[in-house]
Structure formats: structure tokens, C-alpha cells
């Protein structure tokens, strides 16, 4: 399907596609699903991405990327999502991708030199620590309990976070903490760059979880006890932590949507290949009308998702916050991709459950998407608030209320 992408975006997506077809997918097909690849394979993949000239497209050239603008880079994210190894190869992988974007946006020169450049190179890894065990920050981030108090020219951080993706591997953690107890949390929290080896950082465990697949990503529980960082480790503006988190999350939600729509598209490609070859009840499965309709519906939903994502990205590129369109994309794409991957599993029978094909890993991976970056209900809340913002009471003028005179006059028939 063609979209209104620029020539530059198409050219980049073609290059990404060649990398996927010629390098990433052959490596993926050699590996049994469910088993994480080695760091050597990750290095090999990144080397190949550099050779194909499609490495960290979203980052400015001065920090080691390709300086492609957000809108033009989007189709690359979709290509990358077709394998669990694609985003890692092209260095467009979460959560580092969002963290690099944030560092580039609000980091100072020293922070960029210390953290952004090595992150782009793939020399270090990062995590974003916002969510807390109950009753702390979760769907309602205002419930944040972690604090940072100033002591001379240092900040002292105390808190208990979990589900910090990459938390086990991370060399640096971006931590959201309350810095003004009297202000509303949205105006009283800040972000800090915390080296993972700082005194008081206790990476308790990788929370056991569904998914992981070929990248074997961790989601860590971390205690921050009396962690001291110099004031230069404040990331962005004091008390603007939530604003900066939104600046990270808005585009990151769309890049997540594109990665998962790529995964869903590949799942359908596999399902179509399987059902086209597999025979039963006198014909190939791909000739059964009920399956064809389901594939048609899944393709339609993915097309709608991709179109909406591009619309939201255009708005962001034009300087809009685009909160409602982004929420619409997030909730719609999360459900459309989950349904498409579930359908692909069904179409492939036992091979959908087995791990010779990547479908079972995809299935485990996609389920989180309806929860991370804001659960479905949280985004529906945003959409509904906007929908009810401008209720037109005049629409109900013709109605007669109980006990009130009929204002329309005349006799009806």
C-alpha cells in the first residue's frame, strides 16, 4: 500500500527493507524463537545496518545518527518492526530510542556528550524509571511517590520503581521524582540522569514477564535509596519532568505504533504464505472465504492505523501537541495489531503456537502494547474528554421534559 510519504522516506524505507530481507530475516530464521540472541549477534546486526546506511536515522548527524526528520523516519520504524531484531539493528529500539530522543531534545552539551553519543553508538544502554509499585505512579502518574531533595549542590533521590525496561542492562537511568511537594505533581516533578552504578541504586530483579523473545528484554524493579547525583544531572528544566516525559512519550507512542504495525504486517505475510500452501477439505486454506474475510479485515485495520499514525506525525511535525490523535492511534493500533497477530497464530494452527516461526514470540510481545505507554482505558479517557468538550445542547431543544409544556406548539399527527 502506498502512502503520502516523501521521496526521502521511501528511499530510506527501501534501504531498511533490503537490510531486513538480506540480513535480519535470514539471521532471525536461523534462531529458535524464545531464545535471546548474543551481544555478538547484536553487534553484527548493527554493523550491517551501518553498511546499508540505515543506522539511527532519527538522531542528528552531530550525535552519530542520520538527521532524518521524525515524519520521514516513520516508515523505517515499520520495516524494523517486521522482526524482533530489526529495531535493534537500526538502533530504533525502545526504550533507548525514546531516551535518545529526550536527551537530544532537552539534554545539555555535557549530558549529550556523556550519554547521548555513547547511546547512539550502542556502547551503553538506558532505562526510563517512572512506574512504581502500588500505590505509586502507574496509569495515574500523579500518584508518584519517589522524591528528590536538594542538599547543597546535589540531589538526593529516594524511591521504588519497577517495570523499568532495560533496567538490568542499563548504564544510565532516567528517573522521574517529585522535587516540589507543595505543587501539583504535573508542575512539581523533575527528571534525573542516574548512573546505574551510583551508590544506593539497587536493581532488585528482572520482573518475570510474558514475552522477551529474541531480544530478551528486561523490565526491572529498582530501589533508589539515598542516591546522590550532582545538580548537573537534572535533565531538562526543574519541575518540568512531566512535560518532558510527554515530549518523550508523544513521538515514542507513534514509533511504537509503527514497530508493532510492522510486526503485525509480517505476521499476516506468514499467515498468507502458510494458508496458501496448506491444503484441507479439498482446497488450500487460503481459498476458504471465512479466512479471506478475516485477513481482509486485518489488512483494512492496519491500513487505517498507518494512515492515522501518519496524520498524527504530520501534526506533531507542524508543532501541534496532537494529544488526541496520538491517543487514537495508540489505542487503535494496539488493538488492531493484537487482533492481526492473533489471527495469524490461528491461521497457522500448531505452527502458530510453535516457535519455528516467529508468531508465538510476536503474540507474547504484542500483548503489552495495550498497557505500556498508557493503557487503552487511559487513552480512551483522553479521547472521551475531548469528545465531551463541546456538547451542543441545542440538539436537544425539540425534546419535551417531564412535566414541562410542549414548546413546539401545534398538534402532531
- Per rule CB under 6 A, is residue 368 in the interface with ligand FAD? yes
Region from 115-123, 129-137, 286-294, 352-360 binding ligand FAD, contact rule CB under 6 A? 129-137
- Per rule CB under 6 A, is residue 130 in the interface with ligand FAD? yes
Provide CB contacts within 8 A for 373, sequence distance 6+. Answer: 249, 252, 253, 256, 330
**C-beta of 129 vs 337, nearer to ligand FAD:** 129
How distant is the alpha carbon of residue 112 from its chain centre? 22
* Cell 537534572 belongs to residue: 234
- Per rule CB under 6 A, is residue 406 in the interface with ligand FAD? no
Considering only residues 60 to 99 of the shown chain, the ones binding ligand FAD according to CB under 6 A are 95
CB closest to ligand FAD, residue no: 138
Region from 2-10, 64-72, 158-166, 180-188 binding ligand FAD, contact rule CB under 6 A? 158-166
- Per rule CB under 6 A, is residue 128 in the interface with ligand FAD? yes
What length does the chain have?
A: 413
> Is there a contact between 59 and 66 (Cβ–Cβ < 8 Å)?
yes
- Per rule CB under 6 A, is residue 115 in the interface with ligand FAD? no
> Is there a contact between 231 and 153 (Cβ–Cβ < 8 Å)?
yes
Residue 371 CB, nearest approach to ligand FAD (Å): 5
Residue 402 CB, nearest approach to ligand FAD (Å): 32
Rounded to an integer, what distance in angstroms lies between the CA atom of residue 174 and that of residue 196? Answer: 10
- Interface residue with ligand FAD among 8, 108, 110, 139 (CB under 6 A) is 139
- Per rule CB under 6 A, is residue 164 in the interface with ligand FAD? yes
> Is there a contact between 130 and 138 (Cβ–Cβ < 8 Å)?
no
- Kindly state the number of chain residues that form the binding site for ligand FAD, as judged by CB under 6 A: 18
Determine the 3-state secondary structure of 6 from DSSP: coil
- Per rule CB under 6 A, is residue 352 in the interface with ligand FAD? no
Residue 26, class by beta-carbon neighbours within 10 Å (0-12 exposed, 13-18 middle, 19+ buried)? exposed
**C-beta of 106 vs 371, nearer to ligand FAD:** 371
Region from 26-34, 182-190, 225-233, 374-382 binding ligand FAD, contact rule CB under 6 A? 374-382
Could you say which DSSP state residue 52 is in? Answer: T
- Output the CA–CA distances (angstroms, integers) from residue 409 to 265, 316, 397, in the order listed: 59, 51, 13
The sign one gets for the Cα dihedral 185, 191, 197, 198 is: negative
- Interface residue with ligand FAD among 15, 46, 219, 233 (CB under 6 A) is 219
227 is written with which cell numbers? 542516591
Judged by the rule CB under 6 A, the positions of this chain that interact with ligand FAD are 95, 128-131, 138-139, 163-165, 219, 368, 371-372, 375, 377-378, 381
Amino acid at each position: 500500500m502506498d502512502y503520502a510519504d516523501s521521496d526521502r522516506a521511501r528511499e530510506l524505507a527501501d534501504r531498511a527493507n533490503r537490510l531486513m530481507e538480506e540480513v535480519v530475516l535470514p539471521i532471525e530464521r536461523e534462531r529458535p524463537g524464545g531464545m535471546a540472541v548474543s551481544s555478538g549477534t547484536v553487534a553484527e546486526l548493527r554493523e550491517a545496518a551501518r553498511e546499508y546506511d540505515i543506522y539511527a536515522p532519527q538522531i542528528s548527524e552531530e550525535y552519530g545518527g542520520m538527521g532524518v526528520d521524525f515524519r520521514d523516519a516513520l516508515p523505517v520504524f515499520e520495516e524494523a518492526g517486521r522482526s524482533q531484531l530489526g529495531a535493534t539493528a537500526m538502533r530504533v529500539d525502545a526504550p533507548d530510542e525514546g531516551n535518545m530522543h529526550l536527551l537530544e531534545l532537552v539534554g545539555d552539551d555535557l549530558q549529550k556528550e556523556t550519554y547521548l553519543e555513547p547511546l547512539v553508538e550502542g556502547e551503553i544502554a538506558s532505562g526510563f524509571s517512572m512506574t512504581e509499585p502500588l500505590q505509586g505512579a502507574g496509569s495515574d502518574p500523579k500518584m508518584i511517590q519517589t522524591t528528590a531533595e536538594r542538599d547543597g549542590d546535589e540531589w538526593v533521590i529516594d524511591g521504588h520503581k519497577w517495570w523499568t525496561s532495560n533496567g538490568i542492562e542499563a548504564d544510565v537511568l532516567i528517573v522521574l521524582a517529585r522535587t516540589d511537594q507543595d505543587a501539583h505533581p504535573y508542575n512539581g516533578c523533575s527528571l534525573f540522569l542516574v548512573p546505574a552504578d551510583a551508590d544506593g541504586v539497587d536493581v532488585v530483579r528482572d520482573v518475570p514477564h510474558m514475552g522477551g523473545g529474541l531480544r530478551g528484554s528486561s523490565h526491572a524493579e529498582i530501589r533508589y535509596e539515598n542516591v546522590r547525583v550532582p545538580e548537573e544531572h537534572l535533565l531538562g528544566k526543574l519541575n518540568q519532568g512531566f512535560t518532558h516525559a510527554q515530549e518523550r512519550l508523544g513521538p515514542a507512542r507513534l514509533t511504537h505504533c509503527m514497530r508493532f504495525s510492522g510486526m503485525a504486517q509480517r505476521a499476516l505475510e506468514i499467515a498468507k504464505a502458510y494458508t496458501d500452501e496448506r491444503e484441507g477439505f479439498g482446497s488450500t486454506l487460503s481459498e476458504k472465504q471465512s479466512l479471506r474475510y478475516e485477513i481482509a479485515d486485518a489488512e483494512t485495520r492496519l491500513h487505517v492505523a498507518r494512515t492515522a499514525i501518519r496524520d498524527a506525525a504530520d501534526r506533531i511535525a507542524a508543532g501541534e501537541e496532537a494529544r488526541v490523535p496520538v491517543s487514537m492511534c495508540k489505542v487503535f493500533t494496539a488493538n488492531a495489531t493484537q487482533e492481526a497477530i492473533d489471527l495469524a497464530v490461528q491461521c497457522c494452527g500448531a505452527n502458530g503456537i510453535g516457535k519455528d516461526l516467529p508468531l508465538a514470540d510476536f503474540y507474547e510481545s504484542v500483548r503489552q502494547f495495550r498497557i505500556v505507554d498508557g493503557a487503552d482505558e487511559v487513552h480512551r479517557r483522553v479521547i472521551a474528554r475531548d469528545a465531551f468538550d463541546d456538547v451542543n445542547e441545542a440538539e436537544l431543544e425539540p425534546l419535551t421534559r417531564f412535566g414541562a409544556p410542549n414548546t413546539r406548539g401545534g398538534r402532531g399527527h
